[in-house]
Amino acid sequence: METWAQEAEEASKDSGKARLSGRIHILGMGNAALFVAHSLARRPSVPPITLMMHSPAVYHSWKDARQSISLQANGLEDIRTGFDVNVLENKTWYSIPYEADEVDEAEDRPPEPEFADVSLEGEFELEETLKSEHDDREIECLIVAGPASMTVAAVDSVKDRLTPDSTVLILSNGMGLLEEINDKIFPDSKTRPCYMQGLVTHDIHRRKRGYQFDHVDVGSTILGFPLEAGLSQAEAEKMHSGLWPPTAKYLLHTLTNTAPLVATAASPTDLLLHQLEKLAIQCVLLPLTALMQVKNGDILYNYSITRVMRLLLLEISSVICALPEIQSVPGVEARFSPERLRRMVTQLADRTADETSTMSQDVHHRRTTEIEYLNGYIVRRGEELGLSPAMNYMIKHLILGKSYEIKQREASAIPIDVPTAQTPRMFPAFRKNSEDFKNSE
């Protein structure tokens, strides 16, 4: 098997450019990001890996976890170290190389506390004595794995370190992210990096402590180049087959040869079809469990919810089958029929019956949900095609409304839809009417 250095040299050959460094940056500290990092660290030849952390607080939690990622599968614990780190502080990235001495010193510390949300900025600062330096070096290969609602901001934080020779792999739920990234960050097509997208179907559960995970169910990783707007299926595949930058060749070759990922390369059209299937499932399972605040399996035994599910799938199927990008693909109507999509939803809900969906967790913890990139995407594409996806529009705003209501409740606010100028006059009357009502009981 080739070493990572040989893979980097092979990818750089005939490009007329300097040999690649082979370093892979991973932006995000969620399950998918750390699973990819752990899988790369299990290769016989481990490439240089840099974990990018969005605040000093996250870095301190990483140090408390002895700078290691632990994955348990089939009853066996596998701990990997050796990761370099980039930390974002005050919109500046700082590089912190891995040092085994610090890990040895950490062995004498007490066990790390229960894992908590350490995403707040400003709680910690990088110590003056820390061996860190400003890092503005070009990023060759970047993997962005995290919530879709945070992906655009994540890419924006490293935009000055990306060039047209860079490759960005996005592993996020939902669709429509690339269009938003191009619109907000890279409006000039000449300065854009090369994009790749992927789907990770491995079932990874995070434990309560630090960076420890359970590999519950082996899945697969599907990688490919996105189908660009305005190009036919044949044109897109012909273009991508000949214009891959060296960084894209290296990243794709490295990931597909990383055994734990079970990664395969897909054509732009096949990648799109897999994305649409996952989108259809998540447009039903995630918002319904979030609205009802139930586990995934609970929606299977509720007659009223199954009625809503069928109406949603009818609408989602009609929008997907009308997309111009896949009109030349045979068998689209059968692949995205409402009945087949319903079976896929129920199978996933049954397989993960005791799990809580990510959107349900986001709503509960008052985090921004991915609804705009799920049902919101169906609404946008449906309207472009002259359709009226009313059910998806309603679901989208129910989620937005529920999130808003929870935040208002936490802030002890009373939402009243009246002009601001009338508020002082309205509240006394409201209190008086309430008192009269109570006295009349």
Per residue in 192-217, pLDDT (tens digit) is 999 999 999 999 998 876 799 999 99
- Which phi and psi (to 5°) does residue 155 adopt? -65, -35
pLDDT at position 242 over 70? no
Position with higher pLDDT, 140 vs 229: 140
- Is residue 252 domain-shared with residue 331, that is, in the same domain? no
> Does residue 332 have a pLDDT over 90?
yes
pLDDT at position 210 is: 76
Same domain, 286 and 329: yes
pLDDT for position 106 = 46
Residues spanned by the domain of 299: 273-404
pLDDT at 75: 87
Of 41-45, 269-273, 385-389, 435-439, least confident by mean pLDDT is: 435-439
* Whether residue 337 sits in one domain with residue 233: no
Q: Which tens digits make up the pLDDT trace of 22-70?
A: 999 999 999 999 999 999 999 999 999 999 999 999 999 999 999 999 9
57 and 168 assigned to the same domain = yes
Nearest partner of 289 among 183, 402, 182, judged by Cα: 402
Which CATH number fits the domain that encloses residue 76? 3.40.50.720
β pairing state of 49-53 and 167-171: unpaired
**Pair (179, 97) in one structural domain:** yes
Q: Are residues 336 and 262 in the same domain?
A: no
Alpha-carbon distance of 167 to 65, in angstroms, equals 30
Using 50, 70 and 90 to split pLDDT, how confident is the model at 181?
very high
For residues 90 and 152, membership in a common domain is answered with yes
- Answer with the one of 243, 266, 289 that is the final residue of a domain: 266
At residue 117, does pLDDT exceed 90? no
The pLDDT score that the predictor gives to residue 100 is 65
Nearest CA-CA partner of 117 in 245, 204, 224, 30: 30
Specify the pLDDT at position 380. Answer: 97
Q: Mark whether 283 and 257 lie in a shared domain.
A: no
pLDDT at 389: 96
Helix, strand or coil, per DSSP, at residue 291? helix
Q: Which range (1-5, 35-39, 276-280) has the least confidence?
A: 1-5
Q: Residues 254, 350: one domain?
A: no
The answer to whether position 224 is within a domain reads yes
Give the pLDDT confidence of 169-179 residue by residue, as tens digits. 999 999 999 99
The answer on 338 and 257 residing in a single domain is no
Establish if 207 belongs to a structural domain.
Answer: yes
- pLDDT of res. 427: 37
For the segment 375-403, the average pLDDT, to the nearest whole number, is 96
CATH number at residue 399: 1.10.1040.10
Mean pLDDT of the chain: 85
pLDDT at position 240 over 90: no
Q: How confident is the model at residue 13 (pLDDT cuts 50, 70, 90)?
A: confident
Q: How many CB atoms lie within 10 A of CB 126?
A: 15
The per-residue pLDDT for 406 is 75
Query: Which pLDDT score, from 0 to 100, does residue 405 have?
Result: 81
User: What is the Cβ-side half-sphere exposure of residue 182, based on CA atoms within 13 angstroms?
Assistant: 14
pLDDT at 121: 41
Question: Is 230 domain-assigned?
Answer: yes
Alpha-carbon gap, residue 252 to 246, rounded angstroms: 10
| Residue 201 vs residue 428, higher pLDDT | 201
Q: Is residue 397 part of a domain?
A: yes
Count how many domains the chain has: 2
Tell me how far apart the alpha carbons of residues 214 and 83 are, in angstroms, rounded to a whole number. 20
- Percent above pLDDT 70 for the chain: 81
More confident position, 86 or 105: 86
DSSP annotation of 207 reads -
Does residue 429 sit within a domain?
A: no
Residue 119 lies in a domain: no
Instruction: Please say if the pLDDT value at position 287 is more than 60.
Output: yes
For residue 148, pLDDT over 80 is answered with yes
Instruction: Pick the more confident residue, 409 or 139.
Output: 139
Task: Assess whether pLDDT exceeds 80 at residue 398.
Answer: yes
Cα 264 versus chain centre, distance: 19
